Amino acid sequence: MKAALTRQEVGKHNSEEDLWCIVDHKVYDLSDFLDAHPGGNVVLQQVAGQDATTAFYNLHRHEVLQKYASLCIGTLENESPEVIDQQPGDLSQVPYAEPLWLTPAYSSPYYTDKHRALRKALRKFVDEHVTPEAQEKEKDGTFISQELIDKMANENVLAMRLGPGEHLTGRDLLSGTMKGEDFDAFADLIASQELARTGSRGFQDGNMAGMTISLTAVQHWLHNEPLKKKLTEEVLSGKKKMCLAITEAFAGSDVQGLRTTAELSEDGKTWTVNGTKKWITNGMFSDYFVTGCKTKKGLTVLLIPRGEGVETKLIKTAYSTAAATTYIQFENVKVPADHLMGEVDKGMITIMSNFNHERWMMACAVIQWSRAVLEECLKWSHQRLVFGKPLISQPVIRQKLAKMIAL
């Protein structure tokens, strides 16, 4: 950045060819940005050479300035910015935006220094690596990059997604911030909530959510120990992907109504699977499918590798296709008998028990989303001006915010 500038100097740069303005005591050279401005060039010409702080914050989040920080050429002489410039890993200063255990006035007996270190390291990782890609993918609908998957694998973030367990033994999480053996339910809550901070709902599911709800089943229910070990290593290293294939067009929450069938050969060596699955998260890029099937006396769960007879098609849902929501067809798919998970005809136990950690992660994420909504509403109600006053000055807005906080 250049040396400090004066308001008089900024005022001289007020033409279309040479346009400067001030936002929060910082000077921005927008001369080459006019045509690139999403809102057009006229609105920028209207503030040429002027202090545009009020106008800017009446329309934009502060993150926009961070995105275009390269346009900043200096700070006004003898003046300092007033708006907090959040950096990767920082806690929010907005009331109620963070869990109580992270506030200075509150002390929890359940969270240790290890938990705090994990939270700080994971938030920095998410801010620097996950959120930028999440916003990009949410918009263009493409799938998560192998580069990000590799970064998460290297830091054992993928392993954390499964919750506490033997799979974490001997692993150093986030460059040694916490040992895998110390990863407990509170650490699991932290991981689920920090990864939900991207604000990109489709990408959040696209970010290996299928793995988190299928590899857990492999860990608990696959009898083939060599295959379990191989699969765990492949998936947690990011080399292979997998998903949970339970839901069908005719059977959503009614799991007992599954129509996909699995028939065991007379020699007991091979299952033949036929049927369809719908709305399967991450199915488009998965190499393995933990699949619920109807058998003679109940349900049976099989681990099905992608191969002959397995066809996947992308489904466009209400949110971003970054989630890789999929329609799957199994046509005479041959599955080795030792890919059985749980017991034959008792797959309902396998399926429902596997839902436990999935529901836990969902609950953690919803709490984080609720905080995020409240945080954005509090910030915007202070920024946005209506009838010459901030929104927060309106009693009806304060009542709405108070109700959100109370809930």
347-383 and 185-194 helices, crossing angle to 10°? 50
Q: What is the pLDDT of residues 384-405, one digit of tens each?
A: 999 999 999 999 999 999 999 9
Where residue 254 falls among pLDDT bands split at 50, 70, 90?
confident
Tokens of 338: 């030792």
Phi then psi dihedrals of residue 24, to 5 deg: 55, 50
* Mean pLDDT score, 118-138: 97
One-letter amino acid at 162 equals: L
Q: What is the pLDDT of residue 4?
A: 63
How far the first Cα of the chain sits from its last, in Å, is 45
* Mean pLDDT score, 164-193: 97
Residue 308 has pLDDT above 90, yes or no: yes
Do 124 and 105 contact (CB within 8 A), yes or no?
A: no
Q: What is the pLDDT of residue 106?
A: 86
Q: What is the pLDDT of residues 269-303, one digit of tens each?
A: 999 999 999 999 999 999 999 999 999 999 999 99
DSSP code at position 256: G
> Residue 360 in 3-state DSSP?
helix
Nearest CA to 284 out of 224, 348, 209, 227 is that of 209
Half-sphere exposure of 42 (CA within 13 A, CB side): 0
Question: Is this prediction's pTM over 0.95?
Answer: no
